[in-house]
Structure formats: C-alpha cells, structure tokens
Structure 1
Amino acid sequence: MKKEVLKNRKKMIYDMMSTKGYVPMRAREIAVLLQIPKGKRKELEEVLKALTDEGKIEVSKRGCYRKRKKDTERLETVTGVFTGHAKGFGFVELPGEGEEDIYIPEECTGGAFHKDEVEVALQNRSDGKRREGKVVKVLSHGISELVGTFERSNSFGFVRADNPKISRDIFIPGEKTMDAKTGQKVVVQICDYGNHKKSPEGRVTEILGSIGEAGIDVLSVARGYDIPMAFPEKVLRQADRCPEGLIPNDLNGRMDLRNWQMVTIDGEDAKDLDDAVSVVKNGEYFQLGVHIADVSNYVQGGSALDREALKRGTSVYLVDRVIPMLPQRLSNGICSLNQGEDRLALSCIMTIDNRGRVVESRIAESVICVDRRMTYTAVNRILTEKAPDLMKEYGDLVPMFFLMEELSGILRRNRSQRGAIDFEFPESKIILNKAGKPVEVRPYEQNTATRLIEDFMLLANETVAKTYCQREIPFLYRTHENPDMEKMEGVLTFVRSQGISVEKSSEEITPAEVQKILQQIEGTPQEPLISRLLLRSMKQAKYTTGCSGHFGLAARYYCHFTSPIRRYPDLQIHRIIKDDLRGRLKEEKIAYYAGILEDVARQASVTERRAEEAERETDKLKLAEYMLYHIGETFEGVISGVTGWGLYVELPNTIEGLVHISTLEGDYYVFDEQNYRLVGNITKREFTLGQRVRVRAADADVENKTIDFVLAGEEV
C-alpha cells in the first residue's frame, strides 16, 4: 500500500475510533462501519496493524481494537443500575423519567453484577442507535443473595442462578456447600462478586429442596425476589399477645353497629376477611356502609409487628400459597371479620343519591358483627338466577342483595359517565393438584357479585381520600398519573389510521376520551388490539403523599383504605384517621406523619412491584408446566403482541406463547413497528394485533418460563 494511501486510511480509522472511545470493536465491525468492501479487508488489517505498532490503538486477546486510553479524551460518565442479560451483555438504567438505558456490550461490563450501581463511560454515537458504554467502576452491589440450582463437582460446587439476568455461575468452595446435592435448590450468600476474569464466589445458607418436590419451584421464585417467608420470633410473640376476642374497653367511644344487617362477600377460599358491607334505602337515598377491620388497634405504629408489616409492604398471592403481611393469628383471627363475632372496624358510611353522588359521609370507629359470610358464587346466583335453594337459605338477606345490585349499577354508570376507563383483560386462574402440578387453567370469573364489591370499595376509597385531601392533612394516596403523551400519540395515530375517531381537546388526553375510543371498538375485531395498545401507553399506579388523582378511574381523589390486613398503606392511613377522630392530630403529630409518609409511600410502591413480579413469574412457571402436557395439541388464539422476533398468541384460557419469526414459513417477514404487524416481503401476508390464528404447542420451557407455538393451518 502506498504511503499516502496508508496515511489517509490510518487517519480515517483513527478518527472513527476516537468517536468510539473505549468501546472495543472487531475488524469486521470496523469494516462495516466504514463501508469497506470484503475485497479490501486485508488492507484494513494492514492499517490496523500499523496503528497498533505505532501505539495509537490497542488490541485485546479476543482480537478487539480500540483507541489507547492514554490518547482518549475524557468521556462523559453517568451513574445507574446495571441489568444483566443471560447472554452476558447488559443495560444500565439511569435515574430520571424518560432516560434511555445504556447498552453495555459483554466485553464492557467490567465484571458488574445484576443490580449493581455502576459508573459508565459513554461512547459518542452519531448513527441514531441506542447509546453504548463501558462500566468503569462498580459503586455498590444490589444483590447479596440469590436462589439457584446446585451442581457438585468433586470437592466444590457451582450454583446456576434461577434469575436469567445473572449469567455467571457462582463458585461454592467445598466447606461452604452445606453438603448440598446436585439438583437441589439452594439460597446462596455472595461473598465475592468476581470480575471479568474470576467467577463470583458464595456460600450456601439454606437448602430449599430438590427440583420436582411439591412447592419447591414456587418457593424458589419467592426467595429469589427476597420476599420474607417466616416471621421473626419477636413478631410472632407480639401477635400471640393479641386477644382472641374483644375486651370491654374496646367499645369505648365507638359507634355500635352490631344490630346493622351486614355481610362479607369474598371468594370461597378467602380466610382474611377485612371488609363488610351494608346497604339500606331511605326514600330516594341509599345508605352504604363499608366497614373495614380496625387492624391498627392491634398493630401499633413502631412495634415489631408494624416494622415487619412495613418491610413486607403487602401480602403476596402466589399460585400455590399466600405469603401474608401479618401473622395468621391476626389476619385470620381477631382482625378478620368472621361471621357472628364482634369485631372492631373503621366504617365509612355514605349517603348516596339516585345519580350515584355521595351527598353526605361519615368515617367512624365502630364495633360490628357480620351476619353471614357470603361468597361471590352464592350472591351471583341469587342475583342472576334467583336460585331457589339460596333464596331460601339467605331469605332475610336477599332484599339487601338486590338493593346492592341496584346501587352498584348506579355507581358504575356514574363512573362511566365521568370517563372511568374499564380494561377487561382476564387474569389466569391456575388449578393445582396435591402434588403442585397444574391441572386446569381458566380466566378468573368476573360476575355481578365481584363487580358490586369492587364498586363499593372504590367509592369508599374515593370518599376517604377526598375527606383528607380537602383538609390538607398528611396522608397516603393511590396515584395514577396521566399517560406519557409521546407514547400515547403513537397509539392515537394508529387508532386514527383504523378509521376510529379520536377526540382530544387539549395537549393531554382525558380518561373520558380514552373511554370513548374503547366504546367505539367494543365487540369489533380491533378491540383486543387497540385496548392493549392503550393499556401499554398508561403509567403504573403508585403510592404518593400528594393527591394528584387517578387517571384510569377518572377520580380526582383516591387512596387505599379498604384492605389493611394485606396492604400497608391502608394500615398507615387508618392510624392517621383514628388520630384525627380522637383529636390527636396536633402540630407535633402532623409533623411526624409528614416526616415518615414519603418513605412509607416509596417502600409500599417497591414492595408492590416486587409482589406483582413474583406473582407473575410463578404464574408463568405453572403455565409453562401446564403446556408441557399439551405439546402437539392445536388451539385457537388471538395475536396479543407483535415484535421483531415474532408473534405472541393468547389462548382463551389466558395462556400466552411465542410464534418465533423463524417458524413463519413461505416468506421473509418484516416488522412494521408503526402499524404493529409483521408483513411478508413477497406474499404481503400480514400478522397484526388482535388477529385470530390457529397454533400448535411446540415447546414449553419450565426453567425459563416460556411457551413456544407454531402456526397450524390457516387463520381462524
């Protein structure tokens, strides 16, 4: 190569690598970036060798080139949380809403572990692609223990983490194995996080059991999310000291509602009954009583019970068990509104007109006695079938049930008129046998009885929130912020392209405008598609100390008041309400609540997300296990997701699986991101959200919780 040509090529490559900073690249990547044809690749290698010999660039043992550090200008650095990937690379999530994640190539992770807080040097990109970077420093570790499968090797062992985001096995020295056997699920405490050359090291602290034992798979998921299982001895002792029934002083200063006709309405298997309801009608007005267990009478603020409840944040409802927020002695005992037993409650008593408006309300400490423990199934049969056997058995309560149905309809219409959004995507009801194996999967049933309880609880939550927000007392609210309009605008553009009118009177869309879209598509083939797109554009609800409303419910005021047995925010606001009712909300107390509620809101939101993820993961695990018994069978389903790697298809029983793009035969399919579809290059055949298709179960991977389908025959 001529000297002048060599000089020009060196400058071109060196300048390009300067923009890349510390990010290493293979020769073929450099060739692609500089559009060097295959016939010129040998010349490229000659240039790279010359630059290396001159000390301007360096080459790694893996044959990757980058500019030498001594010649690199200081790169911009940012701090964030590293999220690993099973294939070795990762992403760094930056603080601040709307910040794009940073892609970290495998050779640039710097030995970072999943959930580590890291400092990242950013590379400058001008090609419009996702930003890349390199971990230059691990600031702190976010995971101290993990759950995985033990594998013995001579005098030592390794643990393969259940979490696929932890790609490296954990080395366990022989003296730290607790004599675990190959195939057992274990909990490991990490002693050394290792680096890019050395494996992480840990010690086994608990053996959960062997793969295949009933319940071990679900237990492993729960422990993997660091969900507390057993209660500390001190907490249990404190719970044991709680009385089994009321004592005389409990009734002081309380409304005595024991002669009011009231019931609990729950699922057949519910044991912690924390809400009772009563309805009467006086002239044109309904009087609705929502009576909530007074858990705060037994769980004092700052006690061991209280600290443990805050740590847990919520009860966790896994596929085969409940991990409660409070010990069973409380949740199923004195705090449960059991039939025929006197119980302490906080009652929200509302007078409601025939348009569903609360014209008067009162919140009071009360003592109640539930007449009957009803189930959704029984109440639904009374209301929809007028089942003779049940009408006879619950004859004295039947008039109240029909009043409840009437009031529920009024409240629901009122919510609809103000624009509340009603997404109805069924959740999975997974039936297990005694061995913990899934034998049936079906959607959770929504019926008249479940809806009326939902309507009454929503109204009580709104009423309580309005009372305290208007008085500007420190409080906890349930907040659902307005959608991210950048995401929403993309959805609305697509909705308009489908011939559906979109009314948007201002920069941000209102709940009523979203509801109008849903009403237009109800019962149409487009309904599943557009409903899912609208839902995905919404933000997640969270707990806050500011009352900024609930977008989905179109509610100016909203909080969680009705479930103090299983949600800590409800328990917290019960304390505030009682202090208020008893005249204890003086300046010092107000300052106390103002000082703690931000932390409570943050903790409650974090533990709620943790519970939701654990519940979702155990459901996915059992759904994959269920499909193992149905490999080769054919089903009809609906396309519930379209991506660059394939189609997600949901079956009528809620099971969802992937049809990978590589299995779509007869054409090469391209992902049309704007229109949420895959389109064949030659045939122009389309696959889009909401489309009905026939699929065959091809594979199910329980370990990775995935289900694979292939298309079977023509579209439905």
Structure 2
Amino acid sequence: MPRRFRQRILDHLAHPKARPEPFEVLADQLSVPDEELHLLEQCLDLMIEEETLVVLRGCLALPSMPDQISGRFKRHPRGFGFVRTATPFAGGDLYIAAENTGGAMTGDVVQAEVRHGRRGDRSSGRVVEVVQRRRTRFTGTMIKHGSGWIAEPDGRDLGELVVVRDADAKHVSVGDKVVLEIVHFPEGPYQAEGVVVEVLGAAGEPDVETAAVIAAHGLHTSFDDAALDAAGNAARDFEATLPEERAAREDLTDRLIFTIDPDDSKDFDDAISIRWDSRAKEWELGIHIADVAFFVPQNSPLDQEARARGNSAYLPRLVLPMLPEVLSNGVCSLQPGVERMAKSVFVTIDNKGKVLRERFAATVIRSTKRFTYREAQAVIDGDLKAAEGFARTAAEYPNELIEALRMSDRLAKTIQTRRRSDGMIHLDLPDVDLVFAEDGRVVDAVPEDDAFTHTLIEMFMVEANEAVGRLFAKLEVPVLRRTHPDPRWGDMQQLRIAARNAGMDIPEEPTRHDLQRLLDAVKDKPQSRAV
C-alpha cells in the first residue's frame, strides 16, 4: 500500500521549479489525508533506502544529476530537446541545446554528458552517444534536386531533408511517396542520408497516404499462421468448453445486460447492467468487459502478436485489429443473444453518487440488446419511433429494458454531479466523423451526435476503472495509470487571453471550479469551442 504514493512523489519533486521540502510540506502539497500520513512516511522511507530520494538538511529531494546519464531523448521541432531518465533527478529532464543533440531523434536511447549549472540554474547537457535508435525507417516525398534527389520526410521526428543517392535504381518519379532507410542521421553540418526501400505510389493519393502511415509506424497488416491457427482453434473450442467454464463462473445469463456503441461498431467490448434497491436506496451498477484473456493464454503466439501490436489501429476506411477478427468480432465480442465470457465489476452507489462498495467476478453473460448511442437516447427520451430509425438490431423495447436505460441515465447524471463537485472539468468536444468518396478522399466532416448516452457510458467506464485501480492499490500491484496533469502556466495565460476576448475573465491562477464556471458561461455559444 505505501508504494502507491511513489509516482506522485516523483512527479512532484521532479518539477523544474521544485525545491527540497520537509515532510509536512510535501504531505500538504500532495493533499494526503491525516489517516494516510503513516503510509506516506513508509513510502518515503522505502524510497530513501533505495536511494530514489535523499534527505538534505531535514528536507526531502530527488538526488542530483550525475555527470553522465542514460535516457530517452525527445526532440523539439526547433531542434533542441530533453533527455528523460528512467528514475528522475532533481531539476527534471536534462535540456540539450540544438547544437549538442549529436544527431539524436525522438525516442532514441542516448548517453549524455551533464553540464551542471550554477546554484539555482538548470543543468544542460550534450549527447555523446546514441545507444539505440527508436526507428531507422521513415516515409517521405521525393523531390528532384539538380541532378540528384532529396526526400522531404513526413512528420517532425527527422525535421530536415534527406539526401537520396540510389533513387534512380528504384525508378522513382517526382512526387512519389517512399519508405526510406536512414543510413546517416543528421549531425552538425552533415545532412541526413537514406536509401529508398519501397515506392508506395503518388503522394496525396488516399491509399498511398494510408500505406505511408502504416509503414512509418511499423503497423502489422496481417497475422502469421501460428496466430491465425491459435485464434481459429480458440473460437472452435469455445462451445465445447462452455459448460465446464460456466460452472466455474458466476452465471449472469438471466440478468438484463445491454451494450451501447456507435452505429458502425463491429466488436462490442463492454456491457452494462443496473439494479435499484429501493429499501437501501442504492444502485448496483454492473460493468462487464469481454474476457479476452480466456482466449489468449499468456506467452502464446496470440499473446505475443497482441503485445507486438499493442492496440488496434483505426485508419481511414481501415482497421488493423490487435487480434484476429474471428476473436475480436466473434467470440470476444459481447453480441446480443449469445453467451460470452466476461470480467465483471459491480459497484454499489448511493443516491448521492458515492461509491459504497465494489466486487469483482469472472462471469458468463448474455447481452439482451445492442443499442446505438442515438437509439438508447431516443428510448430514454420516450421517442420509440425515432429509436427504431437509429436501431441496428431488432427494435424491440420491453418495459424492463426501457426502465433499465432510464435508471442508467439517472445514475450517470448523479455520478456526473458528484464528479463536478469534486472538480471534474468536462470538455464538450465531440468527435468528428469523416465522410469519404469512393476514391477514399474526404468530402465532409460531421460532428458526432450530442446524445447524453456518450457521457453515460463514459461515467460508467470511469467508475469501473477507478474500482479496479483501488483494488490494485490495495494489493500493491504496479499498473500504468493515465492522469491529467495540471496545465502549464503559459497555457493558462493563453486561456485567460482567449476568455477575455470572449468577454469573460478568470483569475490568474484559476481553480477547477473557476474553469467549470467559464465552460458553463460559453456553453452553446459560438466561442465555446475556441475557449
């Protein structure tokens, strides 16, 4: 349990303006409640013991940066960059001036020499060696330059033109989009030099640009035979193993469970259920996530392929799934009317939106209905005729299903009210759906519908994530967590200027509630998106 403070401590003390702080000040800065101060103290003792923290005249601080460090480089578009080490040091990331980057690109692992600043000044450094390149292949557009060729690379990672000496051997034409292997990275007065690995076609053509994105990011476009065979076997064996597995799981096949997804969804990852206890005045919210791990044994060919991909990739008119479609769109998809394996989180919430307790279970579920966002919203609003038009499955709405949706709506709004009082800032920035012509060119951009059911699902998924986070914290299981850091001072000043131009004013150091009031003031006004 004590280690759950570790990352918060590191993030706080690694800030460039951070100074050594006594225990009481650090606890106050981290907003640690009195009943958890002993846990913070235990965590600090562990970090001091492992030399992640040092004590300077009774104050806690990160250790000073040594004379040489190893870390990952991030290049700024203007040429300078920063080196971030695995374990932070006082002063934060190491600044590297443009002339001292040693040809390092964003993501490269580098060795850097540290030049310590005078007291109060930030240290800077010089890259002395690129230990490992994150990537050596880039995409770009060919340009004729006198009697030779150069390529203008896509994106900002490389940042300058590449000399190409073998272009004629690949029969390239001016304006071709190509894949380049960099043989010499830019350093000092020397330009980058590369060779053409593949000619993709004419730059600007939709399919060519999509192919360039795939090549630039090293995306996998197909599965090997071992992964396909494993996926096929898992799908075929599912029905045979279902009776035995059902006996080992909590059976929820009789419970009213449903999914709410976009119109064009093919795979359904999560479903919800809801109950209201009128005597206790409590909701039981069930969030049911497809149990993909049941079909993907650890270190199996499928697991290795999924790890290599990391996630599904969504490109214009193309999806590159993390798992073969026989799984992602089949037995791992919570389709209506069929039994599926799930991991379920049950969160009990009072009528003020406060979480009272939670439990977790491996389950078997059978979704009752697949809703689209607009269909579910129309049902909640009582417009069943409109709901029929938005439906992608049978437009049948028994009373118990209507009531479940309306209970979900009430609970989501209760949770939203609680979160707002806690300082949640909701940015009303709907996604934009692109409309394509037959040749793949974008002909229109349509904002996503503003149905509250989008927020409903968001509220419920966050509840599930927080419940799992609390469980892992209790068990001291290290996990990746996504956080939203406070905005930088300069960005906040830009917001103050934008707000003033819109006829509103906010304090120089606004609180979350100040920002909420600003967003409320511009809601549904022309300047709302700009703010």
The TM-score, its normalising length taken from structure 2, stands at 0.71
Structure 1 residue 229 corresponds to structure 2 residue 221: yes
Q: Distance in 1 between matches of 2:456 and 2:486?
A: 28
Q: How is 1:101-112 mapped onto 2 (pairs within 5 angstroms)?
A: 101-105=95-99
Counterpart amino acid of 1:465? G
Give CA deviations for 1:318-361 in whole Å, capped at 9, x if unaligned.
34333322222211111001111111111112332212233343
> Are the counterparts in 1 of residues 151 and 161 from structure 2 also a CA contact under 8 Å?
no
Q: Secondary structure at the match of 2:80?
A: strand
> Are the counterparts in 2 of residues 84 and 113 from structure 1 also a CA contact under 8 Å?
no
Q: Distance in 2 between matches of 1:251 and 1:124?
A: 63
Q: How big is the shift at 1:125?
A: 10
> Are the counterparts in 2 of residues 330 and 336 from structure 1 also a CA contact under 8 Å?
yes
Structure 1 residue 258 corresponds to structure 2 residue 253: yes
Q: Distance in 2 between matches of 1:125 and 1:365?
A: 56
RMSD: 4.1
Structure 1 residue 480 corresponds to structure 2 residue 483: yes
Q: How big is the shift at 1:274?
A: 0.8
Moved more, 327-336 or 407-416: 407-416
Q: Secondary structure at the match of 1:187?
A: strand
Counterpart amino acid of 2:459? D
Q: How big is the shift at 1:269?
A: 0.8
Q: How big is the shift at 1:368?
A: 1.0
Q: Could you say which residue in structure 2 is the equivalent of 1:393?
A: 396
Counterpart amino acid of 2:98? I
> Are the counterparts in 2 of residues 346 and 365 from structure 1 also a CA contact under 8 Å?
yes
> Are the counterparts in 2 of residues 82 and 117 from structure 1 also a CA contact under 8 Å?
no
> Are the counterparts in 2 of residues 104 and 133 from structure 1 also a CA contact under 8 Å?
no
Moved more, 90-99 or 486-495: 486-495
Q: Could you say which residue in structure 2 is the equivalent of 1:90?
A: 79
Q: Could you say which residue in structure 2 is the equivalent of 1:167?
A: 160
Q: Could you say which residue in structure 1 is the equivalent of 2:273?
A: 278
Equivalent residue for 1:440, pick from 441, 444, 449: 444
Q: How big is the shift at 1:381?
A: 1.4
Q: 1:276 to 1:499 in 2, by over 3 A?
A: closer
Q: Secondary structure at the match of 2:234?
A: coil
> Are the counterparts in 2 of residues 102 and 131 from structure 1 also a CA contact under 8 Å?
no
Structure 1 residue 312 corresponds to structure 2 residue 315: no
Q: Distance in 2 between matches of 1:141 and 1:158?
A: 22
Structure 1 residue 373 corresponds to structure 2 residue 370: yes
The alignment-based identity, stated in percent, is 28
Q: Secondary structure at the match of 1:90?
A: coil
Counterpart amino acid of 2:329? N
> Are the counterparts in 2 of residues 124 and 131 from structure 1 also a CA contact under 8 Å?
yes
Give CA deviations for 1:645-681 in whole Å, capped at 9, x if unaligned.
xxxxx5xxxxxxxxxxxxxxxxxxxxxxxxxxxxxxx
Q: Could you say which residue in structure 2 is the equivalent of 1:64?
A: none
Q: How big is the shift at 1:276?
A: 1.0
Q: 1:154 to 1:340 in 2, by over 3 A?
A: farther
Q: Distance in 1 between matches of 2:180 and 2:488?
A: 43
Q: How big is the shift at 1:78?
A: 7.4
Q: Which has the larger radius of gyration?
A: 1
Q: Could you say which residue in structure 1 is the equivalent of 2:296?
A: 299
Q: Could you say which residue in structure 1 is the equivalent of 2:423?
A: 419
Query: What is the number of equivalent residue pairs in this alignment?
Result: 442
Q: Secondary structure at the match of 2:239?
A: coil
Q: 1:319 to 1:518 in 2, by over 3 A?
A: farther
Q: How big is the shift at 1:523?
A: 4.2
> Are the counterparts in 2 of residues 246 and 342 from structure 1 also a CA contact under 8 Å?
no
Q: Distance in 1 between matches of 2:476 and 2:126?
A: 47
Q: How is 1:512-591 mapped onto 2 (pairs within 5 angstroms)?
A: 513-514=511-512, 516-524=513-521
Q: Distance in 2 between matches of 1:234 and 1:377?
A: 40
Q: How is 1:93-172 mapped onto 2 (pairs within 5 angstroms)?
A: 93-95=82-84, 96=88, 98-99=92-93, 101-105=95-99, 116=108, 138-150=130-142, 158-164=150-156, 165-172=158-165
Q: Secondary structure at the match of 1:273?
A: coil
Counterpart amino acid of 1:405? D
Counterpart amino acid of 1:221? V
> Are the counterparts in 1 of residues 113 and 128 from structure 2 also a CA contact under 8 Å?
yes
Counterpart amino acid of 2:373? Y
> Are the counterparts in 1 of residues 374 and 449 from structure 2 also a CA contact under 8 Å?
no
> Are the counterparts in 2 of residues 82 and 118 from structure 1 also a CA contact under 8 Å?
no
Q: Distance in 2 between matches of 1:154 and 1:484?
A: 48
Q: Distance in 1 between matches of 2:286 and 2:453?
A: 16
Give CA deviations for 1:256-280 in whole Å, capped at 9, x if unaligned.
1111111111001111101111112
Structure 1 residue 458 corresponds to structure 2 residue 432: no
Q: Distance in 2 between matches of 1:176 and 1:192?
A: 19
Q: 1:444 to 1:228 in 2, by over 3 A?
A: same
Q: Could you say which residue in structure 2 is the equivalent of 1:246?
A: 239
Q: Distance in 2 between matches of 1:282 and 1:114?
A: 54
Q: Distance in 2 between matches of 1:207 and 1:233?
A: 27
Structure 2 gap ranges (5+): 1-66, 389-394
Counterpart amino acid of 2:248? G
Structure 1 gap ranges (5+): 1-75, 529-635, 641-649, 651-689, 691-716
Give CA deviations for 1:413-458 in whole Å, capped at 9, x if unaligned.
2222333232323333322222222222233333221111112111
Structure 1 residue 336 corresponds to structure 2 residue 329: no
Q: 1:151 to 1:129 in 2, by over 3 A?
A: farther
> Are the counterparts in 2 of residues 102 and 130 from structure 1 also a CA contact under 8 Å?
no
Q: Secondary structure at the match of 2:206?
A: coil
Give CA deviations for 1:44-103 in whole Å, capped at 9, x if unaligned.
xxxxxxxxxxxxxxxxxxxxxxxxxxxxxxxx9877736375xxx621312257446433
Q: Distance in 1 between matches of 2:155 and 2:102?
A: 20
Q: Could you say which residue in structure 1 is the equivalent of 2:49?
A: none
Q: 1:302 to 1:170 in 2, by over 3 A?
A: farther
Q: 1:99 to 1:519 in 2, by over 3 A?
A: same
Q: 1:253 to 1:82 in 2, by over 3 A?
A: closer
Equivalent residue for 1:408, pick from 400, 408, 412: 412
Q: Distance in 2 between matches of 1:149 and 1:276?
A: 45
> Are the counterparts in 2 of residues 155 and 174 from structure 1 also a CA contact under 8 Å?
no
Moved more, 196-205 or 150-159: 150-159
Q: Could you say which residue in structure 1 is the equivalent of 2:64?
A: none
Q: How big is the shift at 1:136?
A: 5.9
Q: Secondary structure at the match of 1:290?
A: strand
Counterpart amino acid of 1:432? F
Q: Distance in 2 between matches of 1:135 and 1:459?
A: 44
Q: 1:234 to 1:207 in 2, by over 3 A?
A: farther
Q: Could you say which residue in structure 1 is the equivalent of 2:210?
A: 218
Q: Secondary structure at the match of 1:251?
A: helix
Q: Secondary structure at the match of 2:333?
A: coil
